[in-house]
Each structure stands twice: as structure tokens, then as C-alpha cells.
Amino acid sequence: MTRRWTNSHPAVRAAGSRGDVWLVAPTGAEMRKVRPAVVVSPDELNAHLRTFILAPLTTGGHAYPYRVVDGALLVRRLGRLSPATLSQALATLQAMFAH
């Protein structure tokens, strides 16, 4: 069951921490099941928006290394990346967008 929250609900603001890993409910044709993803959007944005920029956690490469989802699609928090792993992931995304 997907939780539905409003912007002002504390759980939505808590969901917006960069580096948090969440299970994300399926949306559209490309996703068929709940999948893990890490929040990569800056906390300054997360505090004010209802949407979050996520990087899916997969075993294979995908054409789209990130997706923007509504906070209502965040099903359950699984944990948090270590600072070193988060820095490495953000550096990889930055390098991808530099070209």
C-alpha cells in the first residue's frame, strides 16, 4: 500500500534527506514492482518541494540514471548510504551530466 502525504506532513520532509535509501512504488510502464532508490536531490530543495530526485539502485546500467518522483511514492525508508558512498554516487552523476 502506498502512503499518501501532503507537503506539510513531517514524514515527507523526513523522506527528503539526501543519501536516504527508500523503496519506491511503481509508476508508468517502465516500473513493475517496488524498487530501492537513493535520494540525490539537495536537502535545500527537498525541504520545499513535494518531489524528490532519486537514483535507482540496480545491478545493471540504465539509460536514465535518475528519476523525479512524488514523495507519496516513497513506500518505506530502508536506510542511508555512508558519506563516502554518497559522495562517490554524486560524483558519478555529476560526471555523467558534464558531457
**Is 1 a domain residue?**
no
Taking residues 30-42, report their average pLDDT.
85
**Is 4 a domain residue?**
no
Q: Which residues pair with 53 in a beta bridge?
A: 68
Q: Which of 10-19, 29-38, 65-74, 77-86 has the highest mean pLDDT?
A: 77-86
CA-atom Rg of the chain in angstroms: 13
A 10 A CB-CB count for 60 gives: 4
* Residues contacting residue 30 through CB under 8 Å, at least 6 positions apart: none
Decide: helix, strand or coil at residue 34: coil
> What is the pLDDT at residue 31?
61
CATH for 52 = 2.30.30.110
DSSP secondary structure code for residue 50 in this structure? S
Q: Is the pLDDT of residue 98 over 70?
A: yes
Q: Which amino acid is at 21?
A: V
**Is 3 a domain residue?**
no
Q: Is the pLDDT of residue 57 over 70?
A: yes
Q: Which amino acid is at 37?
A: A
**Is 5 a domain residue?**
no
Q: Is the pLDDT of residue 22 over 90?
A: yes
**Is 79 a domain residue?**
yes
Number of domains in the chain: 1
> What is the pLDDT at residue 43?
93
Q: Is the pLDDT of residue 28 over 90?
A: no
Using an 8 Å Cβ cutoff, are 45 and 13 in contact? no
Pairing of the two strands 51-56 and 74-80? unpaired
Domain of residue 42, residue span:
10-98
**Is 2 a domain residue?**
no
Question: What does the pLDDT look like over 38-52, one tens digit per residue?
Answer: 999 999 999 888 899
